[in-house]
Amino acid sequence: MRYILFLLILTMSFSTLRAVELIEGTELVFADSATAAALVIKDDDYMQRVSAYDRSASMRTDREVSVAEYKQHLARNVRNWPDSLKTMFEQFARNHHAQLQALQLNLPTKIILIRTSGDEVGGVGVAYT
Sequence ranges of the domains in the chain: 4-121
* Residue 120 confidence class, pLDDT cut points 50, 70, 90: confident
Report pLDDT for 122. 72
pLDDT at res. 121: 78
Examine the pLDDT at 48 and tell me if it is beyond 60.
yes
- Residue 107 — pLDDT band, cuts 50, 70, 90? very high
pLDDT of residue 99: 97
- Residue closest to 113 by CA, chosen among 9, 42, 1, 2: 9
Q: How far apart are CA 61 and CA 47, in angstroms?
A: 19
* pLDDT at residue 13 tops 60: no
Please check the confidence at residue 14 and state whether its pLDDT lies above 90. no
Q: What is the mean pLDDT of the chain?
A: 85
pLDDT range class, residue 15, cuts 50, 70, 90: very low
Q: How confident is the model at residue 118 (pLDDT cuts 50, 70, 90)?
A: confident
* pLDDT of residue 89 exceeding 90: yes
For residue 18, the model assigns a pLDDT of: 84
